[in-house]
Amino acid sequence: MSQQSSTLSVSAGNLRGALYMVLTTLSFTCGDALIRVATEDLPLFQVVFLRGCLSCLFLAIALQLTRQWPRNLDRTTSFRIGVRSGAEIGAMIPFFIALIHMPFANVSALLQTLPLTLTLAGAVFLGEPVGWRRLVAILVGFVGVLLIVQPGGSGFSVYSLLVLLAVVFVTLRDLSTRRISRDVSALFLAFVMAVFVAVAAGVVSIWEDWQPLDARLAALILAASITIIGGYTFAALAMRHGEIGFVTPFRYMALVWAVGLGFFVFGEWPDMLTWIGSGIVVSTGLYTLYREQVRRRISG
């Protein structure tokens, strides 16, 4: 009976983790959509700066209420947190520029290469073992990326390259996160990241022509700040309640939300090459996650 109960509890934890991951993707995707809508009337980095300021305020209150402020951070941990936050800035600027110029679903489709880039970067920089099957899957996945980007074709956009640049920086961010002590709360990491992003957006916005806010635009920015905090919170809960190998594939729900929002909010629909490329990227990403679980069972 005890073994059966343990199995059931693990399954329940995975189900909760999967639900939190779905909510994570929904939060982030809705936040991106809100920013894109707001930038129809406001400069991009004015929106990102104001959203960042509100996010910092809400996260600081949450840290104070939960008493998760770190007491002592050594130099190594502080440096790694700085690298992580700097990488987020490097991802934020090209990502948001591409977001307001590209079809919404195409941006999300290119972001789905993250499991592939993380697997490859983990092998190159962290010495994590990667078998030939996963290497082949990564190569096939990048063929899918080429179908989405369509270099040299009529559907090519230089903004696609900006999304891929953002993917590189997000990969660096996630790799550095692995090196940060688990004693540092996810809430504090989110706060530091929000501060860095707000400061960077504020600096860039100096060269923009700021516009006054009305009630509608203020509500959009407030909603965007709430969704980004929800995304960070749900992401932390997903990792704590579920096994990574079970929970991570549900991040591909972001593509579903992006297609739906792109169609109903922005009147966009991906072309056939984007659908095919997205299918290849998602399939190879799922396969690399599956092979990772197989490797862990064999090594365990």
180: phi > 0 → left, psi -120 to 50 → alpha, else beta; which?
Answer: beta
Task: Over range 89-106, report the average pLDDT.
Answer: 92
Query: What tokens appear for 71 in the block?
Result: 């007491």
Task: Over range 15-31, report the average pLDDT.
Answer: 88
Lowest mean pLDDT segment, chosen from 22-26, 102-106, 154-158: 154-158
Find out whether 37 and 220 touch, Cβ atoms under 8 Å.
Answer: yes
Neighbours of 242 (CB within 10 A): 24
Comparing CA positions, the residue from 250, 171, 181, 191 lying closest to residue 69 is: 191
> Is the pLDDT score of 2 beyond 50?
no
- What residue ranges do the domains of the chain occupy? 11-299
Q: Residues 6 or more apart from 255 whose CB is under 8 A from it?
A: 105, 108, 109, 112, 278, 282
Confidence tier at 239 by pLDDT (50, 70, 90): low
Residues in the chain, total: 300
State the chain's mean pLDDT as an integer.
85
**pTM, rounded to two decimals:** 0.84
> Rounded distance, CA 13 to CA 11, Å?
5
pLDDT in tens, 43-54: 999 999 999 999
> Rounded distance, CA 127 to CA 121, Å?
9
Task: Over range 198-226, report the average pLDDT.
Answer: 95
Lowest mean pLDDT segment, chosen from 22-31, 150-159, 278-287: 150-159
Lowest mean pLDDT segment, chosen from 131-135, 198-202, 210-214: 131-135
Confidence tier at 20 by pLDDT (50, 70, 90): confident
